[in-house]
Every structure is written in structure tokens, then in C-alpha cells.
Amino acid sequence: MITIDNIKLEESWQYALSDEFQQPYFSKIIQFLHQEEQAGNKIFPSPSLIFNAFNSTPFKKVKVVILGQDPYHNIGQACGLSFSVPDGFPAPPSLKNIFKELNTDIGMNIPTTGNLQKWANQGILLLNAGLTVRAHQANSHKNIGWHKFTDAAIVKLSDQRKGIVFLLWGGFAKKKSSLIDHTKHHVLMTGHPSPLSANRGYWFGNKHFSKTNELLAKQNLTPIDWHL
């Protein structure tokens, strides 16, 4: 299990979030995870992937943020990137609807993989508000302090960077809008891609993917290649 001393974080994120690791709340997160382990509870993702979003997308290279709520809680699915699953796992329902919108928005063929690592490598921070979860219990770690940590990451991006496109999908993500300086960044909001929301007309047709690339192009930044 992780300890404060053995956390391996990409250098620019380590610098940006160094103050957070010294806060009492972060020590309580580590303590809680140790207690879970001692109680025999499985935690997802594996320790090496808890900070995968940060390690995959350095602070200075973030162009887009896609905010999720919670890691997948079934065996093998969680990989530390919001909405993403490893190769070999079928796309969960929300990810299927993301792919459907990509198909209608930019004409992208529905991928055969749900692994979004390619997006992360291009500057998309695939950040879950909570970084761990107990096996088979959704949102079981929502109150242990992770939200304070990931809120701090959003604030650091807002304060120290400029022109990032934040994609906030669903009521939970939309609440994070208050953490972002809208005069410096672009904030696109719509319904959640989950079937419950999408089937009520709150997701499809948002065109967030083409809009994101238009906003990046206006800043002379390389658009995202959404194809997987």
C-alpha cells in the first residue's frame, strides 16, 4: 500500500501538489487505506495506478480535463483514468455513450477498446474526483479526503495555467465549475453520459469533442486525435 514517502508522482505534479502531501487530511487518507488493507478489503485501482491520471498527463501538458466521480469498482476495470478501462474489458455504459457521441459529432468509428490512455498521452487529464474505491462498493471512499486533493489539483491548474478546456459532465462534475477561473479557461458543461441521463436527452448532441478541438485550434494548440 502507498505511504507518503513512497508516492511516485510525475515531477511537475509533485511540485504543484507538494503542499497537499503535508496536510493532515492526506495523512488520514493514507491511514484509511492501510485500515482497509488490514481489514481484508480489496481496493481499486492497484496502488501503482492510483495516481495514473497525473503520471500520464504532466501538469504543464494538460490541455483538457475530463472529470469523473469514482473509479470502477469491479475487478480489473479501474486503471486510474476516468471513464477508461484496460484493453480486453468491454466499454461500460457511460463510455459506450461517449463513443456514440464521438461517432455522431466527428464521425469516429466506435472503438474496439475502452482504453483511453491515448487521450491521456495527448494532454487530456482523465481525473476522477475520488482516486480509490472499495471493491464492489461504488463511492465507498468519497468521504476519505480524495475530493479535497483533486479539488486542489483543479485549482492549481486554474491558477497556474491558461486556456484549458474543462469538460464537466453531470451534476457532480458541474459543481466543480466554481473552482475554475472562467476568464482564463473554457468550461463546457452537459449531462452525464450514463444511460439514465443520456436516454433523457441530457447527453447526446453536446458536440463537446469537436468544440474542444475548435477551442484548442484557436489557441494554436494541436487538436485532440480522439480515435483509439
Instruction: Mention every residue, 6+ apart, whose C-beta is less than 8 A from residue 144.
Output: 28, 29, 32, 33, 132
In 88-203, alpha helices (H):
93-106, 117-121, 146-160, 170-174, 195-198
Q: Average of pLDDT values for 187-208?
A: 95
Instruction: Mention every residue, 6+ apart, whose C-beta is less than 8 A from residue 66.
Output: 82, 83, 119, 124, 125, 126, 127, 167, 169
pLDDT on residue 4: 64
Q: Is the pLDDT of residue 7 over 90?
A: no
Q: Which of 70, 87, 159, 181 is catalytic?
A: 70
Q: Is 70 a catalytic residue?
A: yes
* pLDDT > 70 fraction of the chain, expressed in percent and rounded: 98
CB 221 within 8 A of CB 162: no
CB 57 within 8 A of CB 9: no
Q: Is the pLDDT of residue 2 over 80?
A: no
Q: Is the pLDDT of residue 165 over 70?
A: yes
In whole angstroms, give the CA distance from residue 118 to residue 115.
Answer: 8
Q: What is the pTM of this model?
A: 0.96
Q: Is the pLDDT of residue 1 over 70?
A: no
